[in-house]
Structure 1
Amino acid sequence: MIYVARSVYVTGLDAGGGKSAIALGVAELLSRRVRRIGVFRPFTRKDDDPIVALLRDHYGMPPAAAATGVRYDEAALMLARGQVDAMVGLILERFHEVERGCDAVVIVGTDFGAPDGGEGEPTFPDELGMNLRLARELGAPLLPVVDGDGRSAADLDTAIRGARQAVAGHSVVAIVANRVAPELRSGVQADLDGTPVYAVPRVAAVSAPTVAEVVQVLNATPLLGSSPQALDRDVLDIVVGGATVPTFLDHVGDGCLVVTPGDRSDLIVAAMAAHFAGLASISGLVLTLGIEPDPRVVSLVGRFRGEVPVISVREDSFDTVGRLTGLEGALTAQNQRKVTAAIGAFEASVDVPELTARLDVTRSDGVTPLMFEFELIERAREDLRHVVLPEGTEERVLRAAEQLLRRGVCELTLLGPVDVIREKARDLGLDLRLDDSGARIVDPNASQWRNEFAATYAKLREHKGMTVDKAWDQVGDVNYFGTLMVQSGRADAMVSGCVHPTADTIRPAFEIIKTAAGVSIASSVFFMCLADRVLVYGDCAINPDPNPEQLADIAISSAATAERFGVEPRVAMLSYSTGISGFGADVDKVAHATELVRKRRPDLPVVGPIQYDAAVDPSVAATKMPGSEVAGHATVLIFPDLNTGNNTYKAVQRSAGAVAVGPVMQGLRKPVNDLSRGATVRDIVSTVAITAIQAAS
Structure 2
Amino acid sequence: MGRSVYIAGLGPGGGKSTIALGLAELLSRQTPRVGVFRPLVATRGEADPMLALLRERYRIDRPYEELFGTTFAEASAMVAAGHREELISRVVDRYRALERHFDAVVVIGSDFDDSGEPGPGLPREFAFNVRLATEFGSVVIPVVDGRDADAVEVASAARGAYHSVQDLGATVLAVIANRVPAGTAAPEDQTVPTYVIPEVPTISAPTVAELAEALGAEVLSGDAKALDRDVLDLVVGAAHVPVLLDHLTDGCLMITPGDRADLLVAAAAAHAAGEVSVAGLVLTLGERPDARVARLIESLHSGLAVLSVKTDSFHTIAAASRIEAGLNGRNPRKVQAAIGAFESTVDTEELLRRLDVTRSARVTPMMFEYDLIDRARADRRRLVLPEGTEERILRATEILLRRGVADLTLLGDPDEITRKARELGLDIGRAELHNPATSEWAEEFAETYAEIRKHRAMTLELARDVVRDVSYFGTMMVHTGRADGMVSGATHTTAATIRPAFEIIKTVPGVSVASSVFFMLLADRVLVYGDCAVNPDPNAEQLADIALSSAETAARFGIEPRVAMLSYSTGTSGAGADVEKVAAATRIVRERRPDLPVEGPIQYDAAIDPGVAATKLPDSTVAGKATVFVFPDLNTGNNTYKAVQRSANAVAVGPVMQALRRPVNDLSRGATVKDIVNTVAITAIQAAGESK
Q: TM-score, normalised by structure 1?
A: 0.95
1:547 is aligned to: 539
Q: Does 1:239 align with 2:231?
A: no
Matched residue of 2:436: which SS?
coil
Equivalent of residue 208 in structure 1, options 205, 215, 219: 205
Match of residue 508, structure 1, among 493, 497, 500: 500
What secondary structure is seen at the aligned counterpart in 2 of 1:603?
coil
Residue identity opposite 2:127 in structure 1: G
1:83, distance to aligned residue in structure 2 (A)? 3.2
Q: CA deviation at 1:547?
A: 0.6
Match in the other structure for 1:21: 18
Q: 2:32 pairs with 30, 35, 38, which one? A: 35
- The CA deviation string for residues 398-431 of structure 1, in whole angstroms up to 9 with x for no partner, is 1111111111110111111222211111111111
The Cα offsets for residues 328-360 of structure 1, whole Å up to 9 and x where unpaired, read as 122112211000000000000100110111111
Residue ranges of structure 1 left out of the alignment (5+ in a row): 115-123
Deviation at 1:81, TM superposition (A): 3.6
- Answer whether contact 1:42 1:91 (CA < 8 A) is retained: yes
Give, in whole Å, the separation in 1 of the partners of 2:124 and 2:626.
Answer: 56
Deviations 1:139-171 (A, max 9, x none): 111111111112233332221111011011421
Per mean C-alpha deviation after superposition, the further-off stretch among 374-383 and 76-85 is 76-85
Extract unaligned runs of 5+ from structure 2.
115-121
Equivalent position of 1:56 in the other structure: 55
In structure 1, what is the Cα distance between the partners aligned to 2:189 and 2:92? 32
- Matched position secondary structure for 1:281: coil
Answer whether contact 1:46 1:71 (CA < 8 A) is retained: yes
In 1, the alpha carbon distance for the partners of 2:336 and 2:496 equals 31
Deviation at 1:306, TM superposition (A): 5.1
> Residue 480 of structure 2: which of 485, 488, 491 is its match?
488
Q: CA deviation at 1:652?
A: 1.1
Residues 614 and 631, structure 1, Cα contact 8 Å, conserved in 2: yes
Give the CA deviation at 1:7: 1.5
Q: Do the aligned partners of residues 113 and 321 (structure 1) sit closer, same or farther apart at CA in structure 2, a change above 3 Å counting?
A: farther
CA distance in 2 between partners of 1:642 and 1:268 (Å): 58
Residue range with higher mean Cα deviation, 452-461 or 682-691: 452-461
Q: Indicate whether 1:300 and 2:275 are aligned.
A: no
Q: Deviations over 1:171-202 (max 9, x none)?
A: 11111111111132x1x314522x10010111
Aligned positions of 1:122-521 closer than 5 A: 126-168=124-166, 169-184=169-184, 186=185, 188-193=186-191, 195-225=192-222, 227-305=223-301, 307-433=303-429, 438-521=430-513
Shift of 1:627: 2.2
Segment of structure 1 superposing worse, 41-50 or 362-371:
41-50
User: In the superposition, relative to structure 1, how do residues 644 and 550 fare at CA in structure 2: closer, same or farther (>3 Å)?
Assistant: same
Task: Report what 2:119 is aligned to.
Answer: none
Deviates more, 1:653-662 or 1:540-549: 653-662
1:610 has 2:610 as partner: no
One-letter amino acid of the structure 2 residue matched with residue 43 of structure 1: L
Indicate conservation of the 8 Å contact 1:64/1:97, yes or no: no
Kept in 2: contact 1:224–1:302 (CA 8 A): no
Could you tell me how far apart the structure 1 residues matched to 2:491 and 2:410 are?
14
Specify the SS of the correspondent of 2:438.
coil
Q: Secondary structure at the match of 1:63?
A: coil
Give 1:82 shift. 3.6
Q: Which amino acid aligns with 1:358?
A: R
Counterparts of 2:297 and 2:570 in 1: how far apart (Å)?
A: 68
Deviations 1:568-617 (A, max 9, x none): 11111111111111111111111111111111001111111111111111
Contact 1:5 1:141 in 2 (8 A): no
Aligned residue for 1:635? 627
| Equivalent in the alignment of 2:78 | 78
Q: Quick one: distance in 1 between partners of 2:606 and 2:655?
A: 25
> Which residue type is aligned with residue 77 of structure 2?
L
Query: In structure 2, the residue corresponding to 1:647 is in which secondary structure?
Result: helix
Distance in 1 separating the partners of 2:508 and 2:347 = 37
Give the structure 1 partner of residue 648 of structure 2.
656
For each residue in 1:641-684, what CA deviation from the matched residue of structure 2 results, as whole angstroms up to 9, or x when unmatched?
A: 00000111111111111111110100001000000111000000
The SS at the match of 2:349 is: helix
Question: CA offset at residue 112 of structure 1?
Answer: 4.1
Whether the 8 Å CA contact 1:15–1:112 is kept in 2: the answer is: no
Instruction: Verify: 1:647 aligned to 2:644, yes or no.
Output: no
2: CA distance, partners of 1:159 / 1:418: 44
**SS at the partner of 1:46?**
coil
Select the residue among 526, 529, 534 that pairs with 1:537.
529
- Whole-angstrom distance in 2 between the partners of 1:80 and 1:569: 63
Q: 1:306 to 1:684 in 2, by over 3 A?
A: farther
CA contact (8 A) 1:5 1:361 kept: no
Q: Cα deviation per residue 1:273-316 (whole Å; 9 max; x = unaligned)? A: 11111101111111112110010111111122352111111111
The residue type paired with residue 369 of structure 2 is E
Conserved 8 A contact 2:151-2:187: no
**How far is 1:5 from its partner?**
5.3
What is the rounded CA distance, in whole Å, between the counterparts of 2:532 and 2:382 in structure 1? 27
| CA distance 1:473–1:627, change in 2 (3 Å) | same
Which of residues 665, 671, 685 in structure 2 aligns to 1:673? 665
The SS at the match of 1:509 is helix
CA deviations over 1:8-43 (Å, ceiling 9, x no partner): 111112222110110000000001000121111111
Paired letter, 1:206: I
In 2, Cα distance between equivalents of 1:621 and 1:24: 43
SS at the partner of 2:387? coil
What is the deviation of 1:113? Answer: 3.9
- Tell me the distance in 2 between the aligned counterparts of 1:190 and 1:56: 36
**2:517 matched residue in structure 1:** 525
Mapped partners of 1:368, 1:305: distance in 2: 45
Question: Tell me, what secondary structure is at the counterpart of 1:524?
Answer: strand
Is the CA contact 1:16–1:111 (under 8 Å) kept in the aligned structure 2? no
Q: Distance in 2 between matches of 1:477 and 1:689?
A: 24
Instruction: Number of aligned residue pairs: give it.
Output: 677
**In structure 1, what residue type is equivalent to 2:194?**
V
- Name the counterpart of 1:120: none
Q: Partners in 2 of 1:603 and 1:86 — Cα distance?
A: 63
Deviates more, 1:641-650 or 1:126-135: 126-135
Query: Equivalent residue for 2:6?
Result: 9
Q: Distance between the aligned counterparts of 2:393 and 2:231, measured in 1?
A: 23
Distance 1:239 1:133 in 2: 45
RMSD, matched Cα: 1.5
Question: Could you say what secondary structure the match of 1:223 adopts?
Answer: strand
* Alpha-carbon distance in structure 1 between the residues aligned to 2:398 and 2:341: 14
Residue identity over aligned pairs, in percent, reads 61
State the secondary structure of the residue aligned to 2:183. Answer: helix
- The farther-off stretch of 128-137 and 447-456 is 128-137
Amino acid at match of 1:679: A
Q: TM-score, normalised by structure 2?
A: 0.96
- What SS does the aligned partner of 1:53 have? helix
The one-letter amino acid of 1:445's match is: A
Contact 2:72–2:112 (CA under 8 A) maintained in structure 1? no
Q: How many Å separate the matches in 2 of 1:330 and 1:400?
A: 22
